[in-house]
Structure 1
Amino acid sequence: IGGDGANEHNYRDCRITFPIREQGVCHGLGGYFETVLYSGSEGPVELSTNPVTMDAKSKDMISWFPIFFALKVRELFWSFKCCCQTSGANNVQTPMHLPAGSEVEVSMWRQTDDRKVWYEWLVESFMTVNGQRIKLGVSDLHSSKSSGCLMCSRRFSNRRISGWNPC
């Protein structure tokens, strides 16, 4: 958040926890959306980037796409086989290994300044052992700021960069 605040209404954040029932590996997060634009006489007009419903709701749409939030993880434990007993710290960047019975906590931010909007995300994994919540791994704080979406405002709408006007 910065600048004159004209774009701060686009800021969002959330944190959500997912239970992990089966052991697995997480390479990243998929991002999809569904929306009802309006309800018409022939039924609702909807948009979707969800692979399960996209063909039915917005088959030929080319303006919105699913997104993949990749992870680089710093795991704190080598092995999860014996109730997460550690055999040494591991600072190698890898996907996130998730033992059965653990949790994944996802923090996401939609950041903004006066020119663009971008996403930042962080993923942590935890397991409760003997009543204590232990952190198993944490991703880097990722950011898409360098490729954020340019936002248009009256201040920028009359400017042209090499003949191109993003607004």
Structure 2
Amino acid sequence: MEEAKTSHIDRIEAFLSGLEKDSSKIAFITSGGTSVPLEKNVVRSIENFSTGKRGSLLAEYFLKNEYHVVFLTRSGTLQPFTNHFSKEDLFCMSEEHEKYEKFTQIKEDFAKHKERLLTIEYVTISEYLEKIEEISRTISEQTLLSIIRCTKFFKNSCIILNHCLFSQNYKAK
């Protein structure tokens, strides 16, 4: 866990190291849902589902307006620039495809802006909150625009059970 933590902090620091402190604009955007485990040895979880569409479009907007974007995203959700197409569209793209012109424009946009985009992934609410704190601390000396959609539920880790409880084991008094 410590190695993974160091890895994304190192990536953020490297991303920010070349920026001019006074003139670089930074957007920190979170996108996608979270998973909240119901026990420590996870069998079940509650999912706060989100496709990530709004966050990915927001990241594109800021990139096109010359911001550097730290994009904290749920693994497997929509990403900037690729969010405009289904997987089938991307795999079947050819000059004859009806969306080819849009595809080439978005591909050019991605090539133009990709150096100003840093993507970091999470799955669980714990990872999400931990990474928000770490990223915020790392970029605190820079100009920060924070767009955060917090989950509506959070289960305190001190009351999460170690194992799943089955209803047949419960005896009413």
Range of TM-score over shorter length: under 0.3
Taking CA–CA contacts closer than 8 Å with sequence separation of 6 or more, which of the two structures ends up with the larger relative contact order? 2
* Structure of larger gyration radius: 1
TM-score by length of 2: 0.21
Larger relative strand fraction: 1
TM-score by length of 1: 0.21
